[in-house]
Amino acid sequence: MKPFFILMLLWLSFSCDNGANKKSAYVPESSGNINHVTVVMPEKDWKASLGEKVKSELQEIYEGLPLDEPQFSLVYMNPKAFTGFARQNRNIIWFRKDSLEGFRLSQNQFARPQILATITGIDTESQAFYFQENTELLKQTLIENERKEKLRRIMKSPTTENTLFKRFGIELTYPSAYKTFKDTTNFVWIQKEVRKGHLNLIAYTLKKNILEGSFNERILNIRDSIGKAYVPGRLEGSYQITERAFRPYYYRAIVDGKQAYLTKGTWEVANDFMAGPFVNYMIQDTLKNRILVVEGFVFAPTASKRDYMFELNTIINTLKHVD
């Protein structure tokens, strides 16, 4: 399917749905856990090649975790059960047999907020074609929908702390359950307790030219030096370092309109047995001739970590420079 046609289809679907919602008296609130997607198709198709294609594409590995977890958790639903409350799930992919073939994204059709992807075809081969042609668009739409939902939940009880503003002239939107754990001249550590563990945000600044040269290795060396200085382990002489056995993921990113290096990987503790995932943003703040580093990491040894990391990444991308 041509990109232009996809964009036009999206515009038409979203415009029609939004217009219909303005006229409707009531649209219920959607439901569902973060990063969960309901897939509606006949059971025989779910257990056959069409279902396998959907699972393969949407359950790709979430990057940077110590143990493999899928990008999305899929919830199968038989079309006969897809009525009433079942239609209020926040993310739905609906496969239907129809002579009018194609892929359509609709917004807030049965609930709000909601993304409904409808894939139609005369047979499963045709439906598989339209699904695969639009997989990347679908995944990015779902990720954005989940980011907005996560922010909506965060804003129910946002923090009133201003530690990051006082130290670095920045703001992050995060829940009030996060508390400042350490605050020094050039290092702030914010933490939220979770069951048998904690979620962490840290921030510090570096000289603007510190990443010149082989920046991949420099990023890891900087992480290790900061961990040694500020992030101790449970035992005396232990401290956080980067797990080098598994190669981190490196990307270029934009945060608050500024160029950034994004690193996803796994941390461990030297001289102790602790480990977990991290996401690190090194942001080029040219106005202040510095690199601002904001990182999130999780310690929750008995829990799944995908949604924890999704939360931290969502928080970091709310960053704003305010002075």
| Closest-CA residue to 277 (of 252, 308, 255) | 308
Helices (H), 112-181: 124-133, 135-154, 163-168
Task: Inform me whether the pLDDT recorded for 214 exceeds 80.
Answer: no
pLDDT at 211: 84
pLDDT in tens, 124-161: 999 999 999 999 999 999 999 999 999 999 999 999 99
**DSSP 8-state class, residue 141:** H
Find the range with the poorest average confidence among 18-27, 203-212, 287-296: 18-27
Task: Inform me whether the pLDDT recorded for 21 exceeds 50.
Answer: no
Q: What mean pLDDT is predicted for residues 280-305?
A: 96
Task: Inform me whether the pLDDT recorded for 14 exceeds 70.
Answer: no
Cis peptide before 3 (omega within 30 of 0): no
pLDDT in tens, 77-100: 999 999 999 999 999 999 999 999
Task: Inform me whether the pLDDT recorded for 22 exceeds 80.
Answer: no
Q: What mean pLDDT is predicted for residues 96-118?
A: 96
Entry pTM: 0.90
Domains and CATH numbers, the chain: 3-154 (3.30.379), 163-321 (3.40.1000.10)
Task: Inform me whether the pLDDT recorded for 278 exceeds 80.
Answer: yes
One-character DSSP codes across 48-80: SHHHHHHHHHHTPBPTT-SS--BSSEEEEE-GG
